[in-house]
Amino acid sequence: MAGQSRMLPCGRAAAFEPFQTGPTSRYSERSNGAETTPYSRPPSPSRTYVPRRSVADVMGVSALVMRVFLPFAVGYYLSYLFRTINALIAAPLTSELGLDTGDLGLLTSVYFLTFAVAQIPVGILLDRYGPRLIQSVLLVAAAVGAALFATSDNLLMLLLGRALLGLGVAASLTAGLKALVLWFPKDRLPFLNGLMVMLGALGAVTTTSPAQWLLAWVGWRTLFALLAVFTAGCSAMIYLDDLSLGAGECIGNAGPAWNSRGQLEEDLYRSAFLASGAAISDFRRHRLGAAGTLGSAVVH
């Protein structure tokens, strides 16, 4: 204090008291003998870690397969079926509507054109709205296309029906794979992906002898009408099955119901299903040789 007074001019006094340090500072306070600052946070209460449960734990494996895997696998099955059924109905279309090979090739081309153009928009929509909504809406478009194809009496309506079919099944594979990623444990994804591809390939096998028998029995119009009803039912099954748990609660959480089997058994099951899919694809390639010949003739 005396030192500060010596620094002031003669006859002047300090305008304020010098800053005091110590326990009486206004930036701290004493409470019960312990010094605390008013800006310090109180200690957080103790927290107990509760591990997240996967959807497989809550619903059960069989229920999850029935409610998620099978509906999307059926959608991919329909994609394969509509893709290859044109070769089966080529003869009835030619005889009944007077179509030539160029018209048949155009019907096949418009399906693949709409299918290819829709891939990027469908991928964006899947990321934004999820597979449940997008796949159900697109399958409604496929059902409308099948119904329109069943009632068509000219080439223009047939083309419109095939275009709607190509659009409607554009997300069948990607939506199915997206659903598996969201609702199933990540350590089961390779097995389920292979199983879905195998079941989808059965759609191409169905367009051989089974579809030929049904075509001879009911005709191509009734066949497409039945496919329209079946597709609409698949769409309703996907849309109405709204899981109560969010997707973020189950990503990467492998429940004990999925880990009960050993790694060796898992590898054996996976190999068996993938081998079955390869065998089915090989069978389809040889069985549908006539369809490939027809397509080559149309292109050339």
User: What percent of the chain is predicted at pLDDT more than 90?
Assistant: 43
pLDDT at 40: 54
pLDDT at 6: 55
Q: How many CB atoms lie within 10 A of CB 241?
A: 13
Choose between 126 and 247: higher pLDDT: 126
pLDDT at 246: 41
CATH number of the domain at 55-295, out of 3.30.379.10, 3.30.1330.60, 1.20.1250.20, 3.60.20.10?
A: 1.20.1250.20
Summarize pLDDT for 167-185 with one digit per residue, the tens: 999 999 999 999 999 888 8
Over residues 67-96, the mean pLDDT reads 92
Q: How confident is the model at residue 110 (pLDDT cuts 50, 70, 90)?
A: very high
Over residues 78-93, the mean pLDDT reads 91
pLDDT at 128: 93
What global pTM score does this model have? Answer: 0.64
Please determine, for residue 130, whether its predicted confidence score (pLDDT) is greater than 50.
yes
Over residues 253-265, the mean pLDDT reads 40
**Torsion angle, alpha carbons of 109, 214, 67, 121, to 10:** 10
Q: Quick check: 241 and 135 in contact, CB under 8 A?
A: no
Choose between 281 and 300: higher pLDDT: 281
Please determine, for residue 266, whether its predicted confidence score (pLDDT) is greater than 90.
no
Q: For the chain, how long is the longest CA-to-CA vector?
A: 123
Over residues 129-157, the mean pLDDT reads 95
Q: Quick check: 123 and 72 in contact, CB under 8 A?
A: no
Please determine, for residue 132, whether its predicted confidence score (pLDDT) is greater than 90.
yes
**Domain chopping of the chain, boundaries:** 55-295
pLDDT at 272: 44
Choose between 254 and 188: higher pLDDT: 188
Q: How confident is the model at residue 211 (pLDDT cuts 50, 70, 90)?
A: confident
